Amino acid sequence: MTVIDISASVMQFLLAFVVVAPLLGAVAALLPAPPGLKGKNPDQAVLRHGVTVTGAVLIAAIVLAVGFDHDHPATMQATTDISWIPALDVRIHLGIDGISLPLLLLTALLTFLCALYSYFKLPAGPSPKAFVALVLVLESGTLATFAVLDLLLFFLAFEMVLIPMYFLIARWGGGQRQAAAWKFILYTLLGSVVMLLGILLIGLKSGTFDMVALATDNGRGLTTSVQVIAVLAIGLGLAVKTPMWPLHSWLPDAHTAAPTVGSVLLAGVLLKMGTYGFVRILLPIAPDGMRTFAPYLAAFAVVGIVYGSLACLALARTGAKGDLKRLIAYSSVGHMGFVLLGIATMTPTGVNGALFANIAHGLITGLLFFLVGAIKDRYGTADLDTLAGATGAALYGRAPRLGALLAFAAVASLGLPGLAGFWGEMLTLFGAYSPAEGLSRPAFRTFMAIGAFGTLLTAAYMLIVVRRVCMGEHTPHSRLSPDARAPHAADGPEPSGAAGARPAATTPQLADIQTYEAAAWTPLAALTVLAGLWPAVLLGLTDPAVQKLLAGGKS
């Protein structure tokens, strides 16, 4: 069933457009603007260009989803297959199925929302032209990662995002940005070198880099030893990007230093590239190798769940001087641990849970980083003790709508039933209860119990954050600097009626949610509720594709 019947050639064009348009837009952003488009402010003109290009890509992705045949989500659709390097049998092979389509839509949506947000709130740094160009190159690389069906093209797309993200952190970031950017790129590049060796090993031993052909073969053309080596090599590269404990240490620094939109894109889409690689490459192409490493992957995953939660609890405690952005970054380590646990079960239930948790994490954590960025802009800091020590019931008393939305995002992150975060974690734990044949049930049930304990820890630190940031801790004197007491001019006027709510001397008001912020954040909140109340929309896409993937290409 398709919502609108769109011809195959138009679908091919739309997918190619989605991948290539941001790259062309990045080139255009660096060129001088035509006289008629310069407007009064050239900086605003290039930011408007970014909104236009990402908006066009989002519309194309939505049309692609509308024309997608939802009765056959396991079939590759909108495919393009052109020979590129005949000597190596490398092909420009594009296509989408029920696994990649949601990630494609998520990437297009988050990048558009980041471009829209940046139009009104550009981070301090060098030329806006360079900023817009880097965001568009980042979008193109991420979308290509989810759309290509050739291993070498996958690797190129996977690497394409590193340089833009490095510069976004290093040039537009906050304190310690240079060190964080170097740490990010060194970790990911070292992981990528090992991953390339694994990809070359698969291609040379099987005689093809075509991911569809390799998935259909289901590892029958590769010996067990080759599969084990390939999973170890490729898995290490993917685990760094995911990030899996103990290869995660670059993530908190990168998030803490990155500008708001950099954190949103890093958490919302870049981390998904690693887990997508596990599902798209390792599960179908090297199943025997995955079966060998699955218990270890699951063990690292549950350690990451507990470790991430304990790190968040340590940052959230009174007097720890914990940074709220850093806390959300550590929470990502725990949430991605659930995704890895679901993949390690090698069952349809677990893998579907992992894919659902991927999308839920992108929506919820993207919203959280937007909100933390807004709070930091208003208070001048993301230090939890400072935020909690502000008088006047903290956010609830000073910017009630902002406080309410932060509380909503926090309870969504802890997995409240009825919101998107619940289903991924639940399905992952169900998958661990009954793992694939050949995997130790006692071990995976132990992992399930540890993961369930991790959900309790997640609830604990998120509720502590809500209590401290939204409700505050009454202190004799506000710790805010005088400059942070009033909203910045760029934030717009205070909401009507705010000035009379409490005496300004005791409760300095903050600008509540602005119109442009509501426009950027509302889609994420709405989709979090929609996915929580109607999970069949997403699972109906992923389940047939996962069943086929795990069955060796047979529906």
Residue-wise DSSP of 55-94: HHHHHHHHHHHHHS-TT-TTS-EEEEEEEEEGGGTEEEEE
Give residue 34's pLDDT band: very low, low, confident or very high (50, 70, 90): low
pLDDT at 342: 93
pLDDT at 395: 76
Average the pLDDT over 507-519 and give the result: 78
> Where is pLDDT greater, at 97 or 393?
97
pLDDT at 35: 57
Could you give the percent of the chain with pLDDT greater than 70?
Answer: 90
Q: What is the 3-state secondary structure (H, E, C) of 162-185?
A: HHHHHHHHHHHCCCCHHHHHHHHH
CA distance 124 to 109: 24
SS3 helix, strand, coil % of the chain, rounded to 5? 70, 5, 25
pLDDT at 42: 72
Average the pLDDT over 161-184 and give the result: 87
Q: What is the mean pLDDT of the chain?
A: 85
pLDDT at 495: 40
**What is the β-pairing status of strands 90-96 and 77-85?**
antiparallel
Give residue 477's pLDDT band: very low, low, confident or very high (50, 70, 90): very low
- Of 149, 277, 289, nearest to 213 by C-alpha is 149
CA distance 44 to 50: 10
* Structure tokens given for 324: 């709220």
Average the pLDDT over 413-420 and give the result: 89
pLDDT at 357: 93
506: number of Cβ within 10 Å? 10
Q: Are 62 and 69 in contact (CB under 8 A)?
A: no
Q: For Cα atoms 441, 244, 223, give the angle at the middle one, nearest 5 degrees.
A: 60
Alpha carbon 423 to its chain's center: 17
Q: Are 281 and 157 in contact (CB under 8 A)?
A: no
> Where is pLDDT greater, at 453 or 208?
453
* The pLDDT of residue 73 is above 90: no
> Where is pLDDT greater, at 78 or 136?
136
pLDDT at 393: 59
Q: Are 283 and 385 in contact (CB under 8 A)?
A: no
pLDDT at 479: 43
CA distance 508 to 380: 14
> Where is pLDDT greater, at 81 or 134?
134
Average the pLDDT over 248-276 and give the result: 88
User: 308 Cβ partners below 8 Å, 6+ apart?
Assistant: 245, 248, 330, 331, 332, 333, 334, 335, 337
Average the pLDDT over 135-151 and give the result: 93
Average the pLDDT over 468-495 and give the result: 50
Q: 8-22, 299-313, 497-511 — which is least confidently predicted?
A: 497-511
Give residue 490's pLDDT band: very low, low, confident or very high (50, 70, 90): very low
- Of 331, 212, 337, 214, nearest to 274 by C-alpha is 337
Q: At 414, phi and psi to the nearest 5? A: -80, 0
pLDDT at 316: 83
pLDDT at 149: 92
Average the pLDDT over 124-140 and give the result: 90
Q: Are 118 and 131 in contact (CB under 8 A)?
A: yes
Give residue 250's pLDDT band: very low, low, confident or very high (50, 70, 90): confident
pLDDT at 1: 61
Q: 3-7, 132-136, 235-239, 281-285 — which is least confidently predicted?
A: 3-7
User: 7 Cβ partners below 8 Å, 6+ apart?
Assistant: none
Q: At 75, phi and psi to the nearest 5? A: -90, 135
Count of H-run helices and E-run strands, the chain: 24, 2
* The pLDDT of residue 37 is above 70: no
* Structure tokens given for 144: 């290509």
Give residue 512's pLDDT band: very low, low, confident or very high (50, 70, 90): confident
* The pLDDT of residue 502 is above 60: no
Average the pLDDT over 342-367 and give the result: 93
Q: Are 432 and 417 in contact (CB under 8 A)?
A: no
Average the pLDDT over 537-549 and give the result: 89
> Where is pLDDT greater, at 30 or 524?
524
Whole-Å CA distances, 526 to 216, 330, 418, 423, 519: 38, 25, 12, 16, 11
Could you give the percent of the chain with pLDDT greater than 90?
Answer: 41
Crossing angle of the two packed helices 287-316 and 441-465, in degrees rounded to 10: 30
pLDDT at 16: 92
Each residue's pLDDT tens digit, 430-447: 999 988 888 889 999 999
Give residue 68's pLDDT band: very low, low, confident or very high (50, 70, 90): confident
pLDDT at 486: 39
pLDDT at 410: 92
